[in-house]
Structure formats: C-alpha cells, structure tokens
Chain A
Amino acid sequence: MILLDSFLIRAALAGLGVALAAGPLGCFVVWRRMAYFGDATAHATILGVALALALEVPILAGALVVALAMALAIWWLSGRGEATDTLLGVMAHSALAFGLVAVAFLPGVRIDLMAYLFGDILSVGRIDLLVIWGGAALVTALLAWRWQRLLTSTLGADLAHAAGIDPRREQLILTLSLAVVVAVAIKVVGVLLIAALLLIPAAAARRFVRTPETMALAAAGLGGVAALGGVWASWAWDTPTGPTIVCIAALIFAAATAVRRGGG
C-alpha cells in the first residue's frame, strides 16, 4: 500500500469517506430540520476531546462517548415535547466552553486546539483512515437498512405509526448516526465545520433532483467533489484544509443555485 504512504492521498481518502456518509445523512438533517442538533452534538464533542486528553485515552473514544451522550440527551429532550432549543443551546455551548477551559488545565504539552476545532486532515494516519471509513460504512449501511422506515417517519409521525413504524426509534437511529459521523469527522473538518459538510452538499443537491434517493446520491457525490477539490486547493494555495473543503462546498452550492435560477 505504497499509495497510502502519501499524506495527501490519505487526506483525500479521509475527506472522501466523511463526505460519502455525510451526504445521505445530511439529507435527513435538511428534511427534518435537524441542523441545530448537528451543531449541538458537534460543539459538545470538544469536551470529549478534552476528557480523552486528560484520561490519556484515544481522542476518538472520548469524542464518540460525548457525542453519543449528547445525541441521547437530545433525543430524550425532543421526546418530551418541550421547547428544546434553549436547553440544547445551553448544553452544547456549555460543553464546548468547559471543553476549551479543561484543555487549558491539562499539564504538559500545549495542545493545538485549532486541530480539533477545524480539523487536521493532513495528519490523518492509516488507523484514522480505518476509523473514518469504518464509521462512514456503518452509518451508510444503517441508513440503507432503515431507508424506507426513515423516510416514512420523516413524512409524519402518525403516518409512521399507522404503518407499524415507531418514529421515535427511527429518530434515535438518525441522532446516533449523527454522533458517529461527528466523532469520526473531527480529524477531517473539526467540530465547528462538520455541520457544513452535512448541510451544504444536501442543499446543493436539492436543486437538481426529484426523489429522495437521487438527492442522497447527489449529496454524497457533491460532498466527495468538495472534499477532493478542497484537499487539492489547500495544497495548491497553502490554505487550511478543513475550511477549504467547506469553501469548495459553498461554491458548489452557489453555482447550483445560480444554474437552477438561470435555467428557470
């Protein structure tokens, strides 16, 4: 696997892996207006990073545990039917702030926080690649398996109930998938920009499609283009890679919107 020896190739594969899973999942985030959930989960994850550093366990483990805990909290809150926005905001930003402060207390090496906030895709190793593609494959398989039930629940809770589907269970599956993608994407785009990788490709794909399936595929494709283009552009112009990927995605969205407008 000499190919994987190049850090650029590894970065491209890492970006591609996250984008392919984030595309279809991002569609549900858009359809169900879960953008805020994605942000809240991602922000809280920085606390997991701090805990992992303090306890000297792998970053991914800390991030995953906190992301899953946040996802469960969100799911539980949303089932209570109360106004959850405020509480969510309190939890997410408190976790982010405590995480940032906790990192400052850590003895020894100074930690480059930027790497966790905006990603450090050029330092992706073989193990990281394995984790990213493993997580992406898990989430994609989960979505494919539940696809019909997830779509039916998205159309309405009562429609789902009448068909013998428990919409709460499907919501839990989506929320947990979101946590997994957020956790494995930290290396790629960081906690502040993962929501962009979920939303923007899906929103761009919406301009050209007529069915949910084509939207999911198009979102994965456009996300992949943004990831590869971003890695290349950041190499060419020496810009931070995570933000560059998001910039490319945003340009694709703008172009998609313009083309659609122009075409009527």
Chain B
Amino acid sequence: MTLIAVEGLEIRHGARRVLHDVTLTLRPGEIVTIVGPNGSGKSSLLRAMIGAIRPARGRVVRRPGLRIGYVPQRLTLDASLPMTVRRFLSLPRPVSDAEARVALERAGVPQVAPAQVGALSGGQLQRVLLARALLGDPELLILDEPTQGLDQPGSAAFYRQIEAIRTETGCAVLMVSHELHVVMAASDRVICLNGHVCCEGHPEQVASAPEYRALFGTGTQGALALYRHEHTHRHDHGPAA
C-alpha cells in the first residue's frame, strides 16, 4: 500500500532543469529523509508533492483522499497581520479549543495558544507549524528543513518529537534536512538527492554508498562518516558524543 508515489518526475525553473527522473514511493508509517547539497532540488521535490509546482514531466500520484500535513521551511508572517497561535491553528479549517490544545501538547508547546505568532521564538514557531500540520490527523507529514535556525540540542529534540508523533499516530514522515547525523539516526530510509536520486536505502547503506561519499565526503563534514564513527570509535569524540 503506497501513500504517495512520484514517477519519472522532472521539474524545471524556466530553462534550468532542477530535478529529473525522480521516482520514489512512501509507505504508511515510515520516516524518510531527503538529503542533498544546496540547490539539489530537495525543496522543489517536496513542493511538487504537495501540488505547489507543476512537473515538466512525470507525475505525482497520491492515494485518493490522502491527508497531508505540511510544515514549511519558514513562515514569513507580515508584521501588519495580527495572528494569535490559537487563530492560526484554525486555518484553513476551524478547529475546536480541545483539538487545538491536543495538537499544541503533542508538538511540545502547550502554553503558547494566546501568543502572537510573530512574537514566537524560532523553535516555538516550528513547533506551532508542526501542531497546525497535525490538526488534520495526517497520514503523511511533510517537513521542509524543519529545524533551520535551531541549535543542535533544539533540532535533536525536534526530531525526537517527530519520532514520538510517528509512534503515537502512525503517520508517515517525509522530511528534508541538512543535519545529516541527527536525521540519519531518526530515519527508516534516506534518499540522497542531487538533481536526481543518487542513492537510497537504510541510513547505513546510504552512508557507505560511493555516490553519497562523493557528495558529502568522508571527513567531519560528511556527517555520515561521523555517524558511523560514533558507533565504533566513540572515545575519539570526547564529550561531543
């Protein structure tokens, strides 16, 4: 049973080809992470999957009636737009106070309902966006670099929350990230993207794939190397581990 399938997708921005020959499927309950260098088409792929970009070729097939919760990379709320968190949660579908409370608790920010969205910290805002995405009881949660601007403990906590939500609700999760080491540990499957799907599979498999190493290297920048390292030579890293 497939939630959403991408078949032979090609995306162009004007004359530039951003993505080509991308084929992937998502199954219920799995956590899949897309990694790739800047400009590799990660966000474009997500945007095509939610219907914001029309593919130049290929198609996106959603299971009929699929409920998607989307967490954007950032929310640029104009300062002239007054908006409490509570009101924000009722967009586009009005929700009850009880529903709103459950979603905020699940996302780890139970106290912020009366606050103005514009006054939230980066971490709080990400969690409010997550709460809003959870309100439709999604079968698939799509997150575009959800921890951008968070420090390392902050993003680690965020990913733990995602895993907890998956366990609790059984929803599938598709996310884009650049924090390879954190993300790899939390994913069932990793897709390495650079204009096309370079390699794909379990985090360990992808980590040892030559295509992946070519992109991210094997030094400290290649977080996968770090990830593997931590399992064999933990003492080398001192307190950081």
Binding site for B on A (CB under 8 A): 30-33, 148-149, 151-152, 154-165, 202-203, 206, 209-215
> Which residues of chain B have C-beta atoms less than 8 A from A148's C-beta?
91-94
The reply to whether B92 and A152 form a contact with Cβ atoms under 8 Å apart is yes
Partner of A206, one of B70, B80, B91, B93: B80
Q: How far is the CA of A159 from the CA of B78 in the complex (A)?
A: 15
Interface residue B50 (Cβ < 8 Å from any Cβ of A):
yes
Q: How far is the CA of A31 from the CA of B82 in the complex (A)?
A: 9
Chain B interface size range? 20 to 34
> Which residues of chain A have C-beta atoms less than 8 A from B50's C-beta?
158, 161-162
Nearest-CB residue, chain A, relative to B47: A158
Interface residue SS majority, chain B: loop
Distance from B193 Cβ to chain A, minimum over Cβ atoms (Å): 18
Q: How far is the CA of A212 from the CA of B82 in the complex (A)?
A: 6
Distance from A56 Cβ to chain B, minimum over Cβ atoms (Å): 43
Q: How far is the CA of A158 from the CA of B53 in the complex (A)?
A: 9
Q: How far is the CA of A151 from the CA of B94 in the complex (A)?
A: 12
Nearest-CB residue, chain A, relative to B53: A161
Binding site for A on B (CB under 8 A): 47, 50-52, 68-70, 72, 75-78, 80-84, 87-88, 91-94, 116, 142
Partner of A156, one of B76, B94, B142: B76
The reply to whether B82 and A159 form a contact with Cβ atoms under 8 Å apart is no
Distance from B128 Cβ to chain A, minimum over Cβ atoms (Å): 12
The reply to whether A151 and B82 form a contact with Cβ atoms under 8 Å apart is no
Q: How far is the CA of A43 from the CA of B88 in the complex (A)?
A: 35
Given A152-B91, A162-B51, list of 9 further CB < 8 A pairs?
Answer: A148-B94, A151-B91, A158-B47, A158-B72, A159-B72, A161-B51, A210-B84, A211-B87, A215-B82
Q: How far is the CA of A31 from the CA of B77 in the complex (A)?
A: 9
Distance from A147 Cβ to chain B, minimum over Cβ atoms (Å): 10
> Which residues of chain B have C-beta atoms less than 8 A from A202's C-beta?
80
Listed residue (A30, A148, A162, A215) with the most chain B CB atoms within 10 angstroms of its CB = A162
> Which residues of chain B have C-beta atoms less than 8 A from A215's C-beta?
82
Distance from A232 Cβ to chain B, minimum over Cβ atoms (Å): 30
A155-B77, A159-B72 known; A206 vs B92 contact (CB < 8 Å) = no
> Which residues of chain A have C-beta atoms less than 8 A from B80's C-beta?
30-31, 202-203, 206
Q: How far is the CA of A236 from the CA of B194 in the complex (A)?
A: 71
Nearest-CB residue, chain B, relative to A213: B87
Nearest-CB residue, chain A, relative to B46: A158
Partner of A31, one of B69, B81, B88: B81
The reply to whether A210 and B92 form a contact with Cβ atoms under 8 Å apart is no
> Which residues of chain B have C-beta atoms less than 8 A from A154's C-beta?
78, 81
Nearest-CB residue, chain A, relative to B43: A158
In the assembled complex, 13 residue pairs joining A and B whose CB atoms fall closer than 8 Å, in A order, are A148-B91, A156-B75, A158-B52, A159-B72, A159-B75, A161-B51, A162-B69, A163-B70, A206-B82, A209-B82, A210-B116, A211-B82, A212-B87
